[in-house]
């Protein structure tokens, strides 16, 4: 699987503008929203990279070498995104994994026609061991695009199929931005020497079937029988060589989904006897990832229902998820039905 599948030199700004031209009703407002978001991501990427140096730079407890209070990186990332996005006039409301309640657009800024939901730093428990982490986001149109009133909870709790765009940034060996506005999935890699995200992979397509499964096996004693039977099936060698699967689990959803997009296979965070709805959040983790994987030709369900069809009922609700290659997700659904 090549890292690069395009030789065109296209920045993300130009790509967004060109994609915007595909939507005659686009006013350029959406492009400006994404420009502001990529600025926030660049800042978060810089600070994530520096975080590894904090110990070297002499951060003692909560105060850094400049005498500034050092915040947890996920709280810092949350503040960076909010400050970059709250005054552009594109959004009427935001919601974040870090905020219990909705994030209103402050006076005197204009309430725009879009909604932004995000997980500012997914996998933050992996920061201290330099494992890839990321930012996940979804963008919706508000329910009444003509309104100038503050956005409401109803504007945020929309089913995932109404996303106008979704994506994630992965802060790994390089910073990559994976993004779709409904016209396939494109990958941009940040080039710090020129300060631009450059298109490095166009219209990625997830293989119809993979050979990797991704799940926290430490919870297997709590899984339902159908899931245990599925994993046993994956681990039993087959005559055609399609099995056994390998297990790969980073513990950062962004990294596990990124690998699944490229190599295929299945990422699972199922329900179990102690977590009846699994762990991952529907609104700002599972919906955006499901949108991307479907745009890449894959499948995403809760084991039975299409994730993007689910009607959210609360901001931080959790949902079981099976996301990845279409044939692999269909197969686990069969095992779950059979019990």
Question: Which residues here bind ligand P6P, judged by CB under 6 A?
Answer: 122-123, 125, 216, 251-253, 256, 279
Nearer to ligand P6P, 152 or 317 (CB): 317
CB of 268 to ligand P6P, least distance (A): 10
CB of 88 to ligand P6P, least distance (A): 28
- Strand, coil or helix: what is 123? coil
Nearer to ligand P6P, 205 or 316 (CB): 316
Nearer to ligand P6P, 122 or 302 (CB): 122
CB of 125 to ligand P6P, least distance (A): 5
CB of 256 to ligand P6P, least distance (A): 6
Q: CB 148: neighbour CB atoms within 10 A?
A: 10
Residue corresponding to tokens 């979804």? 138
Residue 2: enclosing H or E segment and its boundaries? none
85 Cβ partners below 8 Å, 6+ apart?
A: 33, 36, 37, 40, 91, 94, 116
Instruction: Taking each helix axis as running N to C, give the angle between helix 12-20 and helix 29-57, from 0 to 180 degrees, rounded to the nearest 10.
Output: 160
Nearer to ligand P6P, 183 or 216 (CB): 216
Give the chain's length.
Answer: 339
CB of 216 to ligand P6P, least distance (A): 3
CA distances from 275 to 259, 283, 310, 327 (A): 25, 18, 19, 26
Q: CB 128: neighbour CB atoms within 10 A?
A: 11
Nearer to ligand P6P, 285 or 328 (CB): 285
């Amino acid at each position: 699987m090549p890292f690069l599948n395009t030789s065109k030199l296209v920045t993300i700004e130009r790509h967004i503008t060109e994609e915007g031209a595909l939507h005659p009703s686009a006013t350029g407002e959406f492009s400006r929203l994404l420009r502001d978001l990529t600025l926030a991501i660049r800042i978060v990427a810089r600070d994530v990279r520096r975080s590894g140096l904090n110990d070297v730079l002499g951060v003692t407890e909560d105060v850094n070498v400049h005498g500034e209070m050092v915040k947890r990186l996920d709280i810092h990332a949350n503040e960076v995104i909010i400050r970059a996005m709250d005054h552009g006039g594109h959004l009427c409301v935001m919601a974040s994994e870090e905020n219990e309640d909705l994030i209103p657009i402050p006076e005197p800024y204009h309430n725009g026609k879009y909604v932004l939901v995000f997980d500012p730093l997914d996998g933050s428990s992996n920061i201290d061991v330099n494992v890839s982490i990321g930012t996940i986001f979804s963008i919706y149109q508000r329910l009444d695009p003509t309104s100038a009133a503050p956005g409401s909870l109803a504007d945020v709790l929309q089913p995932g199929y109404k996303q106008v765009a979704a994506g994630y940034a992965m802060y790994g060996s390089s910073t990559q931005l994976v993004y779709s506005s409904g016209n396939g999935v494109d990958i941009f890699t940040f080039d710090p020497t020129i300060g631009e995200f450059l298109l490095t992979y166009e219209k990625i397509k997830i293989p119809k079937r993979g050979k990797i499964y991704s799940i926290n096996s430490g919870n297997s004693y709590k899984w339902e029988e159908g899931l245990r039977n599925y994993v046993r099936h994956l681990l039993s060698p087959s005559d055609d060589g399609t099995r056994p699967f390998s297990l790969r689990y980073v513990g950062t959803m962004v990294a596990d989904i990124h690998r699944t997009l490229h190599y295929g296979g299945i990422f699972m965070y199922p329900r179990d006897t102690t977590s009846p709805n699994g762990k991952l959040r529907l609104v700002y983790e599972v919906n955006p990832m499901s949108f991307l994987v479907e745009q890449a030709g894959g499948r995403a369900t809760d084991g039975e229902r299409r994730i993007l069809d689910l009607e959210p009922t609360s901001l931080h609700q959790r949902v079981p998820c099976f996301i990845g290659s279409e044939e692999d997700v269909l197969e686990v659904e069969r095992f779950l039905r059979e019990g």
